[in-house]
Structure 1
Amino acid sequence: MSIQLTEATESQIAEKHRDAASAITDLASGIPTTIDGGYGTADLMAILGAVIDTADDIAMVNEVAAEQVTAVGQGLGDTDDEVAENFSKIKVVVE
């Protein structure tokens, strides 16, 4: 079994996670700070607060996922470079 993660694929996956985090964060500016819900205002604000907290957590998860994908790509690339360097040191003798 082999693991392949091209630089292009790694970059695209990380960028999608960054885009998702940014899209969620950008929505925050449109969230109302007050709601006229009559007797239900406090409950509606509590629901809105829970949604905002969850959205913030999801954005953070996407940011961390982007960092991890990039780190994995770097780690695989470093390993490939190290293996290639060791192979280049091998002397081939044909008799």
Structure 2
Amino acid sequence: MTTTVKLPPSLEQSLRRQCAVEGRSISDLMRDALTAYLAKVPQAPPSAWSLGADLFGRHAGPADLASARHAHAADVWQEKHARRRPR
């Protein structure tokens, strides 16, 4: 990947001077500097999606559970209490 970076003249001079001292290209020096910087930056916390990715899709309930939750809850309630009644 090629990226263009705009540097103030003083930073560009320092960069070129350091590259000459080390005998390295600007690209090599900037790659190493970015690698070192990114290794120190705290990583973003994981998203809710990545935390629950192994759980998504495991529910085998009714497809309309979100929109008809009250009706489904009433059905579950009736089934539960029907089993408790002596016949």
Q: TM-score, normalised to structure 2's length? A: 0.30
Q: Whose helix proportion is higher, 1 or 2? A: 1
Question: Highest CA radius of gyration, 1 or 2?
Answer: 2
Flag the structure with more relative contact order, 1 or 2, with Cα contacts below 8 A and sequence separation at least 6. Answer: 1
Q: TM-score, normalised to structure 1's length? A: 0.28
